Structure 1
Amino acid sequence: MSPTEVDAQLDRILARETDPERRIVLRGAHIVTMDDRGTFVGDLLVRGGVIEDVVPGSIGHVDGGLVIDATDRIVIPGLIDSHVHAWEGQLRGIAPDVPFQSYMAIAHGGLAPHYTPQDIAIGQTVTAMQAINGGTTTIVDNSHNSRTSEHSDAAIDALLASGIRAVHAAGSPTVTSPSALPADVLRLRDSLAGRGHGRVTVRLFDVAPSLETWRFAAEHSLDVSSEVAMGMPGLEDALASDLLGPAHTLNHCAGLTTDMWRRIADAGAAVNLAPRSDPHYGLGASVPVMDAGAADVQVGISSDNELSYAHDMFTEMRVLLTVQRGLAFARAAAGDPGPVPYGVLDVLRAATVGGALNANLAHTIGTLTPGKKADFVVLTTNTVSTSPWGSVHGTVVNFSSAANVEAVFIDGRVKKWAGELVGFDLPDINTQAERSREQLLSAYGSQLAEVRAGLHS
């Protein structure tokens, strides 16, 4: 289509965006359902904010449907980032080489105390925009800088305005009050009633497993995300507790024993791995993907933060694939035939189905299944990196990037079209982000010239 025709089609989609009966048909796409129907060439029908049907071949004529020609495109479920600290968005790339202790000193000890609600809002917006641009439709937002009710409100409002699907995990500031319960989360949950069509929900965030927090969550029917690594105080008691269950999302899970993994699996808790974060910050030589596999735990994938590297779920998938295959082949060479090397579909499953489990939204998102939310990504195959192309799944995982993300729909609403974001004023957002970053750095006692060289402490 010509640029004029592309724009006209977008206008038609947007004109009926709030119509719950609006129908959109994607015709002739390579559809990766991630459910038991597999992958096929066919049509996807969206009605309002819900997937109405997905069929091999043609769905036929749809009265009043807006038809999108998806020939030679690949349609996948929206990617899901199981653990990201969205408030840090304007800190992107300020500390590319630091270990974990320096990350904590810079982000939490140095910059976090100076965040205003406005800083929180722009950080959230930058993170959501980057996520959507790269095909991520849902984030589990681990917000450990919820200093006041105003900070929390700003975080929620920014997520709602961005159009992303988000689970906002409200938590206390890591350094100043690591054990304080964010009871304000109950007010936040109430405040979301009737807003955003349920796209943004609330849970608790725990910077370390805490029975106090877990009891609070259970008493108030809240899910909870927790940072988990061997050596954390109270970890053994927490994982042995009968409070642990499907309402729990465990991040990192570095250094855990076989018995701990068994308890997690038996409890049905969700686990996400941070393929780049753990080795980058020194939490482990690699992520515990083999331990998770041995315990038969379906993992999700996490980008963690952008202080050192970009939010990019395609890269996270590739790193996880390479790490797991390397470890599996090494064990096979040592005489252990047990671990099966991952294929590309395994890491795509982690980024979709596994992410839905971590968000506790598996009934709603994660697969292209009729009745689920219309969260999906259209990938073009006509870029330098994907033309010519071979395997559908291999092209998604090993050859695609944000440049291939042609369209993004969340709740049936278009957020990226023809490779351009929809509903974001990029120049204004960048101006706000740069202003926020400068003010934070000034309060921290640093300046942009030092950031350009990379902060180290």
Structure 2
Amino acid sequence: MATSIPAAHPEDFTPGRPVVFRNATVITVDTPGIIQGGDVLIADDKIVSVGVGLAVPEGTVEIDATGGILMPGMVDTHRHMWQTALRGYGGDWALSQYFVFYYLQHGQVFRPEDIYAGNLLSALESVDTGVTTTLDWSHALRTPDYADAAVQAFKEIPGRFVLGYGNYLGAPWEWTADPTFRTWVKNHPQTDMLGLQIAFDVPDSEDFPEKAAFDFARDNGLRATTHAGVWGATTDVGLGHMYKAGVMTDQITYVHSATLSPDSYHKIAATGGTVSVSTESEQSAGQGYPSTWELRKYGIPASLSMDTSVWWSADFFSAMRATLSSDRSREHLEAQAKGDTVNVNQLRAEDVIWMATMGGAKSLGMEGKIGSITPGKKADLLLIKNDQSPAMTPILNPTAHVVYQAGTADIHTVVVDGRVLKFDGKRIGLDIAPARDAVAKSVEYVRSQLGEEAWEEGMHPELTPTERIPNPYGYQDEE
């Protein structure tokens, strides 16, 4: 006979008090895989034990996870968090319009406080939606004051973050050599809760001035993240320079990597690099076809990312679903082009869950700390449970259920570093008002700087006239 589990309450989650999830379907993303009716005990900031019917210390808070799925917190390896203040503004953009808006026209009007506002809202959204670790691809940090503003937002939201320091208005070999930047890096010690990388791109050129930035990263023990294989922007030429210079290592993450040659994929695989796939971005903006179907051929580890909320949401269920669907769609198209039929899908739900968790951890160099429900790792957990949702019953295939059935509305509990930040669908002590108000002020300022005409034009790009293909049978609306 099952033992009833006393109801937990938000006030029960006091610092240092152990917490146990009871009777969950546990997706460990590790050995032993999926545990039916499983328990997970956490204490302080660590996962203590995983099993069935665990004995726990007296005073442990018990969370009834019956009917729910417990999985590791998700990891986003590439999000321009500062752009969240303009959420949805560029929903109809192509990539060229994004470049024009931010790089050539209006990105320069952003102040440090605008970076802070976007980061604050994005950070809150991350933990609210079960993304417990996020890399902020922050390429608008024109001075260390901007970086301080970005970091301040992370200090106010108790998630796990990595700042990818970038500067789209400056050349990476110049800003990484700037004494003020170097002093900022020296005074910015990395922690488990706030890491640091450098973020910049390698466009085509005859020489390779970006080598100086890679050398700086290596000399300072920093990983680097770069947009690669982006149609018309970053090609095989840049990777060729990187490989020849010896800077392609396992410390590099290549974002998108959607339009590379077989030789470039071989180089990434041979040097231990990882790829961050932003499927919704690649499908809509035009970087190239989402690359998981190519990466699998070369054995390149993939992680997932949402890119920017100026276009898309921060919904990682959507990222997993889109990635699995795009990979399968390409497999079918490739087979059918040869007159063949796909009888078995090679990419499975469990694979994209791995990308969303352990793949992200590997991309950040944190696979020993996060990404799976493993004793000794950090307690970053996500409980998907919604007793009133028709989509949450029955749970027959847990990994497929996470990817194709569950959604952000089904997030019951979020734990980061052992701290319960969300319980029973509600955040604990994390009101939206500060982020909402900061973003409202930022939007008002940016809009005033652009002017109403430019604001509206930027949001609604002019359509190119198109004509219907001639129909030999005629169209009904033709005379």
So what's the TM-score if we normalise by structure 2?
A: 0.86
Give the corresponding residue for 2:62: 67
Give yes or no for contact 2:41–2:56 (8 Å, CA) kept in 1: no
Give the corresponding residue for 2:206: none
Give the corresponding residue for 2:126: 131
2:275 is paired with a residue of what secondary structure? strand
So what's the TM-score if we normalise by structure 1?
A: 0.90
Shift of 1:283: 1.5
1:276 is paired with a residue of what secondary structure? helix
Unaligned runs of at least 5 residues, structure 1: none
Taking a change above 3 Å as real, the CA distance of residues 65 and 448 of structure 1, as seen in their structure-2 partners, is farther
Taking a change above 3 Å as real, the CA distance of residues 377 and 187 of structure 1, as seen in their structure-2 partners, is farther
1:180 is paired with a residue of what secondary structure? helix
Taking a change above 3 Å as real, the CA distance of residues 164 and 273 of structure 1, as seen in their structure-2 partners, is same
Determine the C-alpha separation between the residues in 2 that align with 1:72 and 1:446. Answer: 50
Give the corresponding residue for 1:404: 410
1:429 is paired with a residue of what secondary structure? helix
Give the corresponding residue for 2:469: none
Residue 83 (str. 1) matches residue 78 (str. 2): yes
Cα-to-partner distance string for 1:173-215 (whole Å, 9 max, x where unaligned)? x245465334555444444448xx6300111111337322111
Within 5 Å, give how 1:429-444 maps onto structure 2.
429-444=435-450
Give the corresponding residue for 1:238: 242
Give the corresponding residue for 1:322: 325
Taking a change above 3 Å as real, the CA distance of residues 107 and 150 of structure 1, as seen in their structure-2 partners, is same
Cα-to-partner distance string for 1:229-277 (whole Å, 9 max, x where unaligned)? 2653633211343221111111011211111111101111111111011
Cα-to-partner distance string for 1:1-22 (whole Å, 9 max, x where unaligned)? xxxx96x721120xx32x3xx3
Give the corresponding residue for 2:40: 44
Give the corresponding residue for 2:174: 180
- Give me the CA root mean square deviation: 2.4
Residue 393 (str. 1) matches residue 399 (str. 2): yes
Percent of pairs identical after alignment? 25
2:425 to 397, 416, 419: 419
Give the corresponding residue for 2:139: 144
Determine the C-alpha separation between the residues in 2 that align with 1:263 and 1:240. Answer: 10
Determine the C-alpha separation between the residues in 2 that align with 1:255 and 1:375. Answer: 34
Shift of 1:390: 2.6
Determine the C-alpha separation between the residues in 2 that align with 1:449 and 1:283. Answer: 25
Give the corresponding residue for 2:49: 53
Shift of 1:427: 2.5
Shift of 1:63: 2.5
Within 5 Å, give how 1:295-374 maps onto structure 2.
295-333=298-336, 334=338, 335=340, 341-374=346-379
Give the corresponding residue for 2:282: 278
Give yes or no for contact 1:125–1:162 (8 Å, CA) kept in 2: yes
Shift of 1:348: 0.7
Aligned residues: 441
Shift of 1:89: 1.3
Determine the C-alpha separation between the residues in 1 that align with 2:87 and 2:354. Answer: 27
Within 5 Å, give how 1:111-122 maps onto structure 2.
111-122=106-117
Determine the C-alpha separation between the residues in 2 that align with 1:169 and 1:449. Answer: 28
Give yes or no for contact 2:386–2:411 (8 Å, CA) kept in 1: no
Residue 25 (str. 1) matches residue 20 (str. 2): yes
Letter in 1 for 2:461: H
2:257 is paired with a residue of what secondary structure? strand
Taking a change above 3 Å as real, the CA distance of residues 115 and 32 of structure 1, as seen in their structure-2 partners, is same
Q: Pick which of 211-220 and 177-186 moved more.
A: 177-186
Taking a change above 3 Å as real, the CA distance of residues 176 and 242 of structure 1, as seen in their structure-2 partners, is closer
Letter in 2 for 1:420: K
Shift of 1:224: 0.7
Letter in 2 for 1:265: A
Cα-to-partner distance string for 1:354-412 (whole Å, 9 max, x where unaligned)? 11111111111110111111001010142132234332111111011110111111101
Taking a change above 3 Å as real, the CA distance of residues 107 and 422 of structure 1, as seen in their structure-2 partners, is farther
Give yes or no for contact 1:85–1:143 (8 Å, CA) kept in 2: yes
1:425 is paired with a residue of what secondary structure? coil
Letter in 1 for 2:228: V
Letter in 2 for 1:343: R
Letter in 2 for 1:268: G
Give yes or no for contact 2:119–2:154 (8 Å, CA) kept in 1: yes
Give yes or no for contact 2:332–2:341 (8 Å, CA) kept in 1: no
